[in-house]
Amino acid sequence: MEKGTCITFLALLLSSSSSANHEPTLRAVVSQLYQVLLLSWAALPELPLRELWRQFRAWVAVPLLRLAVFVCLVMSMMVLVEKVAMALITLYAKVFRRRPVRIYKCDPLTEDEEMGSLAYPMVLVQIPMYNEKEVYQLSIGAACNMVWPRDRIIIQVLDDSTDPLIKELVKKECEMWSERGKNIRYERRANRIGYKAGALKVGMRYSYVESCEYIAMFDADFQPAPDFLLRTVPFLVHNPKIALVQSRWKFVNASECLMTRMQEMSMNFHFKVEQESGSTACAFFGYNGTAGVWRIRAIHEAGGWQDRTTVEDMDLAVRAGLAGWKLVYLGDVKVNSELPSTFKAYRYQQHRWSCGPANLFRKIVLNVLMAKGASMSMKFYVIYNFFVARRIVSHFVTFSFYCVIIPLSVFFPEVTIPRWGLIFVPTTITLINAVATPSSIHLVIFWVVFENVMSLHRCKAVLIGLLETGRVNEWIVTEKLGDTLKTKSNTSATKRFRFKIKERVNLLEIMVGMYLLVCACYDSVYRDDLYFIFIFPQSVAFIIMGFGYIGTIIPGDK
């Protein structure tokens, strides 16, 4: 029986069965509707499968792909304009020497005969930590060795560790420095509510904090130089409208492996261009959560620490900026820190750094628009430049355009991508990023494919943050190795690698890598646009990182 005959017979059968019941029931209505649909489908001419695909391709697939290309080109231009603008502002600041030391008063603080050490303000140094076995000694020791009058500084270790052994080690380290004459306090709380933001909020409630004017904050893997306070606090003392002085991060393990070299390139651009341009243009940028000094009054006026997202530092900076406070970035003050050198740790970090800002944007955008103390230009800068262009669009366009749309277009010769969007725009963006780390300019190709792989996780994290689903509030402390690799043997590292190989496999990266490999092979055989020159290395990068062959291998007896 032919297809049309079968469908007609089925429709008549349904009609006869429903006509027996004359009541206007729901079943009867649905049956009549289904009869109309079946008869309409039977009346259509029978088309071969190939013809159906041709029509679907012409009327649906190609228009949608062209629309996707157009949207990606628009987003690419948004990112390009933002990158060029930041680069030009940074270049202006460098050429015309528009540095904070020339803009703001920052005379060194000195003791006088009448006041003595009281000429120095009271400073609280906060070190939040959580099971930081490898680095707790480094951070506490560096904080205790900072040059500042002993009676004008309090070092506060906020320990949220859950490991009894680590808790005891940190406590003994604090007791040791206390015996040496340092005013150091070891503080614990009953729970980890709010994670880091919760710890900082609780830390400010102790009675001895009321005597302090400023707070210097350092994560557990940060090691400030002895003169850190001497070079940063004067900006706050002499300029009452400055709320924050942010220093630059310097990475002690940047040359440990190829992955840390790639991270250094990205982080150097962030500090040398993003933070520098924000500080120069409008005295506003995102607080990095560590290696900075805050005015306590500014924290209170901005609403204090809030744990509504995983980027409590950015949240506070935005609220302070909208309240009229100025933020200053000191690029010449560097604090030693550690980059995550395992792929797993880096993925968790990037999830938090991408999901948190997107979720914060969702929660704060209306507050920004309604802020009474902020100008329209400031509101536009915060919404468009700070959030949309840098922290949402940049992640979407990197993954969707270069890892999905361009590879998919090889199957549709009707879709053309202009050369300026395919070559010139991404090349310009890449060069602007790479110029911040001249010593690694030869690794720019590796950096491109590495960033494209990471854009998969960043794009996913942004969606989670905007939609506020899944892992939106996930907070996994970035694992630090400290001197672990220097004290463990290569044999133990090899054993761990062999034993934990299954834990290193990432199916999502492998699936995308295989998709790109198919696209590259098809392009090389059936097309002459040479897209495979880009797509094939990208597929290899996804597959390599999918099997975990990147980063440092943690010794087994860690």
The catalytic residues are: 160, 313
Q: Which position has the token pair 């204090």?
A: 304
Contact of 286 with 321, CB cutoff 8 Å: no
Name residue 524's amino acid: S
- Phi/psi for 500 (5° steps) reads -105, 25
Contact 537, 515 (CB under 8 A): no
Q: What letters, b where the CB count within 10 A reaches 16 and e where it falls short, cover 431-457? A: ebbbbbbeebeebbebbbbbbbbbbbb
Is the distance from CB of 427 to CB of 447 less than 8 angstroms?
no
User: What's phi and psi for 291, nearest 5 deg?
Assistant: 60, 35
Is the torsion defined by CA of 294, 330, 289, 129 positive or negative? negative
Whether the Cβ atoms of residue 479 and residue 342 lie closer than 8 Å to each other: yes
Beta bridge partners of 484: none
Tokens of 380: 């536009």
Longest dimension (CA), the chain: 110
Is 250 in a helix, a strand, or coil? strand
Q: Output 509-514 pairs: Cβ under 8 A, ≥24 positions apart.
A: 509/453, 509/456, 509/542, 509/543, 509/545, 509/546, 510/542, 510/543, 510/546, 510/547, 511/546, 512/403, 512/456, 512/542, 512/546, 513/539, 513/540, 513/541, 513/542, 513/543, 513/546, 514/539, 514/543
Q: 506 in helix, strand or coil?
A: coil
